């Protein structure tokens, strides 16, 4: 099913308002989800709407939160999210970080006690569009076996980075510290597709290609991904005085309760270290150099991070965004949610 970007955003926003979010907050969440779908990152797009709607309807996301910025220094702050929508809290916190970095050269803003926030690159690209460097990390619930372990301890714990070049282009990447994000497993389930045997393990700790049998994810590059996941848990959980490791709340355990998640934004003003134009020129040169690298056998070209989404975005802009038919049917229905997620296993659909 193909739908225009504007129609998809309107459908998502309407559903979230029906669930109980304010018009402003529903609009922000819809914008973040459409941002992901427009890049082809469907694991963080419209497929998440029903889960959010159920949690909102059951008051597990504060409908009208009391957001509060607590300045802790000239370049640091905590953004208290009151278990409101993570998409909204993180957007507002990034706006504060951007202003702080413009004034002081750097900003570190922790978002405290929020719900799920979606694609992190949405927030880092906000900084890049303001000629700043953006970096963000976020904790998530235990789904990943530590290297050498047989049971989950850390979450997929993603990180994102964006840096501006010239002519509105930027380097941007957004990744989980697992071989694949949990949302990719959900996307495979929704399309009844197999997954590579390097993504996850079943209840016996054995590699599986069946997304419905997944009981834990694998860290990227073994001990390296394990170390990155630990670092992110420290920066977005321990550092903010929040639950960490196995104590991070499950997405599905009780949708009537807030999740108390944490996220950390770091924004750097290139002018504090070099001229912003020199920085942008060199990022552009980096892009050009990477494109000029001789491709390996089986590859047509080397792409700079983020460039691979450009063709998808152009296609979707011209022909509409592709979403699964079942998700479209839900969005156009009168159903707010189907009570499908509450108290489910962490590896539920």
> When comparing pLDDT for 29 and 205, which is higher?
29
Domain of residue 297 covers 278-305
- pLDDT tens digits, 304-315: 999 999 889 999
How do beta strands 76-80 and 200-201 pair?
Answer: unpaired
What is the model's pLDDT at position 349? 59
pTM comes to: 0.94
**Both 106 and 235 in a single domain?**
yes
In the chain, pLDDT over 70 holds for what percent of residues? 99
Reply yes or no on whether the pLDDT at 170 is more than 90: yes
Reply yes or no on whether the pLDDT at 182 is more than 80: no
CATH code, domain with 182: 3.30.1370.60
Residues marked as catalytic: 116
| Three-state secondary structure string covering 222-240 | CHHHHHHHHHHHHHHCHHH
Backbone angles phi and psi of 78, in degrees to 5: -115, 130
- Provide the angle, in degrees to the nearest 10, between the axes of the packed helices 23-38 and 310-319: 120
**Both 181 and 47 in a single domain?**
no
**Both 24 and 94 in a single domain?**
no
What is the model's pLDDT at position 228? 98
Total domains present in the chain? 3
CA–CA distance, 30 with 16 (Å, rounded to integer): 8
**Both 95 and 39 in a single domain?**
no
262's CB contacts (< 8 A; 6+ apart) are: 110, 111, 112, 113, 114, 138, 139, 236, 237, 239, 240, 242
CATH code, domain with 337: 1.10.1530.10
- pLDDT tens digits, 246-274: 999 999 889 999 999 999 999 999 999 99
| Residue 341, Ramachandran bin (φ over 0: left; ψ between -120 and 50: alpha; else beta) | alpha
**Both 116 and 235 in a single domain?**
yes
**Both 178 and 196 in a single domain?**
yes
* H-helix segments, the chain: 5-19, 23-38, 49-57, 86-104, 121-128, 182-190, 223-236, 276-292, 310-319, 325-332
**Both 190 and 293 in a single domain?**
no
Mean pLDDT of 196-220: 91
**Both 4 and 133 in a single domain?**
no
**Both 340 and 205 in a single domain?**
no
Longest CA–CA separation in the chain, Å? 55
**Both 131 and 224 in a single domain?**
yes
What is the model's pLDDT at position 82? 98
Mean pLDDT of 215-234: 95
């Amino acid at each position: 099913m193909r739908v225009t970007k504007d129609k998809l955003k309107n459908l998502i926003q309407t559903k979230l308002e029906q669930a109980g979010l304010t018009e402003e907050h529903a609009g922000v969440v819809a914008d973040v989800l459409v941002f992901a779908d427009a890049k082809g990152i469907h694991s963080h797009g419209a497929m998440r709407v029903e889960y959010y709607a159920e949690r909102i309807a059951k008051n597990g996301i504060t409908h009208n939160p009391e957001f509060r910025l607590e300045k802790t220094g000239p370049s640091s702050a905590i953004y208290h999210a009151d278990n409101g929508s993570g998409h909204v809290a993180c957007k507002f916190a990034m706006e504060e970080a951007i202003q702080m970095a413009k004034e002081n050269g750097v900003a570190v803003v922790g978002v405290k006690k929020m719900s799920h926030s979606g694609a992190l690159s949405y927030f880092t690209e906000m900084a890049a569009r303001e000629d700043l460097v953006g970096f963000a990390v976020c904790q998530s619930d235990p789904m990943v076996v530590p290297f050498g372990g047989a049971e989950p301890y850390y979450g997929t714990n993603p990180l994102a980075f964006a840096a501006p070049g010239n002519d509105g282009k930027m380097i941007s990447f957004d990744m989980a510290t697992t071989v694949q994000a949990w949302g990719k497993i959900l996307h495979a389930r929704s399309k009844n597709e197999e997954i590579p045997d390097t993504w996850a393990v079943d209840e016996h700790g054995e590699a599986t290609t069946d997304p419905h049998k997944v009981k834990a994810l694998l860290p990227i590059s073994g001990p390296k991904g394990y170390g990155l996941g630990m670092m992110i848990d420290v920066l977005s959980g321990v550092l903010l005085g929040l639950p960490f490791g196995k104590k991070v709340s499950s997405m599905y355990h009780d949708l009537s309760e807030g999740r108390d998640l944490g996220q950390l934004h770091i924004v750097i003003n290139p002018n504090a270290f070099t001229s912003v134009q020199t920085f942008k020129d060199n990022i552009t040169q980096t892009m050009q150099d990477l494109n000029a690298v001789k491709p390996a056998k089986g590859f047509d070209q080397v792409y700079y991070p983020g460039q691979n989404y450009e063709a998808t975005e152009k296609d979707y802009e011209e022909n509409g965004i592709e979403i699964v038919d079942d998700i479209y049917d839900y969005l156009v229905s009168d159903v707010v949610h189907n009570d499908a997620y509450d108290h489910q296993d962490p590896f539920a659909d």
